[in-house]
Amino acid sequence: MRYFDYMATNPLRPEALEAMMPYLKEQFGNPLSLYDLGGKARQAVEDARAQVAALINAKPQEIIFTAGGAEANNFAIRGLALANRQKGAHLIVSRMEHHSVLNPARILEKEGFAVTYLNVDRSGAVDPAEVEKAITKETILISVLSASPEVGTIEPVDEIAAIAAKHQILFHTDAVASAAYLPSNVDKPGITALSLSAHEFGGPKGAGALYVKGGTRIMPLIYGGIQEGGRRAGTENVPAIAGMGAAASLVKAELAEGKEAARLSGLRDKLIKGILGGVENAYLTGHPEHRLPGHASFCVEFIEGEAMLLMSAAKGIYAASGSACSSKALKASPVLLSMGISAQLAQGSIVFSMGGGTTDEDVDYVISEFPPVVKRLREISPYAGGWGEAKENPTCIQKN
Amino acid sequence: MYSEKLMDHFTNPRNVGEIPNADGIGEEGNPTCGDVMKISIKVEDGKITDAKFRTFGCGAAIAVSSMVTEMVKGKTLDEALAITKEAVAAELGGLPPQKMHCSNLGADALRRAIEDYKGRKGAGPA
């Protein structure tokens, strides 16, 4: 197996598994219990909180554990908007955001908020000047992700944070895709909230965190007990949180050293060069330079992404696609469309994302085995010689 | 998510290409929506003697095209027109619900190819 889907999930780091084991076995206590079994569990949660805080240069009390990245994003958008409604009812989000940001924003629209969806350029980058232009007297929250899992583009988060600080507007960034690859530092003016997902950096699934700057009002999504300072009720997922903490410590050390990011950047550049050199009519999506280490994404003309994935998988290459057919919703990726990529070209989306387990040999394998997949599918495609008269049709009605 | 039979028709599709001087050609779908199927047929004595396809689309769309072209060979035009999307899906060992439209597309492209044949026959010298 050649795993090239680190944006989907990562294998659990052995150190994270080890950190989890006691809390899956003998240390099964509830962190709220007063006896020492509860105390051990409570200590595990607080140790992990300090580890996660250290990863992004936050204070431990600014970390709220969640069940994952999607919850962290929902919590940030909904919780910050509702808690600050008396100040205004306008939000600004980019079109690059994950559904777990966009969908809560859409729900808020139904509840009376106005939302500006920021357009992006061809590379998928948000223009900070556009953010500033979109600000009104009513604006209370801006949300722009740190980097795109779909096209790898790194967004100008620091510039946007500075704009938010200048206008005294809350700013949330979804750092789920970038946390394993880029250092995040919330200890500067402007960043109010930041989302993390454990399994995106070698922790377990089912754990995430939202950083919320001290003193910021946020409405809970889940009401109940006093866990997480009353901001997120429910007995803590102690083993997963312990695993997230261990993974966060490893990532922090890796990022400080910088060797892994450099290695992945090298593999990325090699893969991009190899694919663009080996496949005609293939285009890099996302920014050519300001992109995540380990992220190589393309649109391949005249064939469809799901078919590419399946045929690649048959050769042991596991990748991802933003094509309509590969999504349950049967819609081409809104991210690719918002970048100005045509709907038919977006069907040929393929994303290779690399991480700790990816080797140079894996990249060589993809460079040699992926072009034949494209060649085979083009032999089957009616468009091998060009799109011809194929027309754009933005409203696709799926007949059943 | 896909049956073994479907994967076989996807990885080793039958009847890829187009028939030179085909008697009927049918196309269905749109690349912006994800799939396009183009089926060409040869008709002799009211029976489909050959069928070929080219498809832009997902694994299911390619497998459906391959299966439809297999199913119609040797069938009369009426028998071929009676092939339903359910029949194609069943032959492939079933399709996930969100992929049933691929099966529909196969049946529709075939129907268009037959209509094209009938139209040509009606219009031109027999």
Condensed to tens digits (0 to 9), the pLDDT of residues A336-383 reads 999 999 999 999 999 999 999 999 999 999 999 999 999 999 999 999
Does residue B102 have an active-site annotation? yes
Is residue A385 less than 8 Å (CB to CB) from chain B? no
Cα dihedral A332, A337, A339, A344 in deg (nearest 10): 80
pLDDT confidence bin for A169, thresholds 50/70/90:
very high
Residue A31 · residue A235 · CB < 8 Å: yes
pLDDT value of residue A390: 66
Q: How far apart are the two ends of chain A, measured CA to CA in Å?
A: 35
- Find the distance separating the first CA and the last CA of chain B, reported in whole Å: 47
Q: Closest Cα of chain A to B105: distance in Å? A: 9
**Interface with chain B: mutation pick from A303, A310, A399, highest number of B CBs within 10 Å:** A310
What is the tens place of the pLDDT at every residue in A7-22? 999 999 999 999 999 9
For A144-294, list the strands marked E by DSSP: 170-174, 193-197, 208-212, 282-284
- Residues A151, A155, A160, CA angle at the centre, nearest 5°? 155
Nearest to A63 by CA among A55, A391, A335: A55
B55 CB neighbours in chain A (<8 A) are: 380-382
A93: β partners: A117, A143
B47-56 vs B35-44, strand pairing mode: antiparallel
Question: Mind listing the pLDDT tens digit for each residue in B56-102?
Answer: 999 999 999 999 999 999 999 999 999 998 999 999 999 988 888 88
Longest dimension (CA), chain B: 49
Question: Mean pLDDT, chain A, as a whole number?
Answer: 95
DSSP assignment, residue A58? -
B13, closest residue in chain A (CA to CA): A380
Residues, chain B, total?
126
> How do residues B44-60 score in pLDDT, each as one tens digit?
999 999 999 999 999 99
Neighbours of A156 (CB within 10 A): 16
B33 an active-site residue? yes
Q: Which of B36, B64, B71, B102 is catalytic?
A: B102
Asked if A310 reaches chain B (Cβ–Cβ under 8 Å), the answer is yes
Q: Which residues of A touch B33 (CB under 8 A)?
A: 324, 343, 393, 396, 398
What gap in Å lies between CA A169 and CA A274, rounded to an integer?
Answer: 44
Which residues in A lie closer than 8 A to residue B57 (C-beta atoms)? 304, 307, 325
- What is the crossing angle of helices A305-314 and A360-380, to 10°? 120
Partner-chain contact B98 A328, CB within 8 Å: yes
Evaluate whether ipTM surpasses 0.90.
Answer: yes
pLDDT at A307: 95
Task: Please give the interface size between A and B, counted as residue pairs whose CB atoms are below 8 Å apart.
Answer: 94
- Contact check, Cβ <8 Å, A323/B58: yes
Q: Please tell me which of the candidates B30, B54, B98 has its beta carbon nearest to residue A380.
A: B54
* Residues B58, A304: C-beta atoms closer than 8 Å: yes
CB–CB contact A325 B31 (8 Å): no
- DSSP annotation of A291 reads B
> What are the catalytic residues of A?
325
pLDDT at A76 over 50: yes
Q: What are phi and psi of A246, to 5 degrees?
A: -65, -45
Collect all residues of chain B within an 8 Å Cβ-Cβ radius of residue A379: 16
Above 90 in pLDDT, residue A238?
Answer: yes
Cα–Cα distance for residue pair A198/A182, rounded to 1 Å: 15
Structure confidence at residue A399 (pLDDT): 39
pLDDT tier, B123 (very low <50, low <70, confident <90, very high otherwise): low
Look at the block and give the residue holding tokens 């297999």: B70
Task: With beta carbons under 8 A apart, name residues in chain B contacting A307.
Answer: 10, 57-59, 61-62
**Could you give the angle at the alpha carbon of A392 between the alpha carbons of B39 and A383, nearest 5°?**
40
Cβ distance A304 to B35 less than 8 Å, yes or no, reads yes
> Residue A283: phi, psi to the nearest 5?
-130, 140
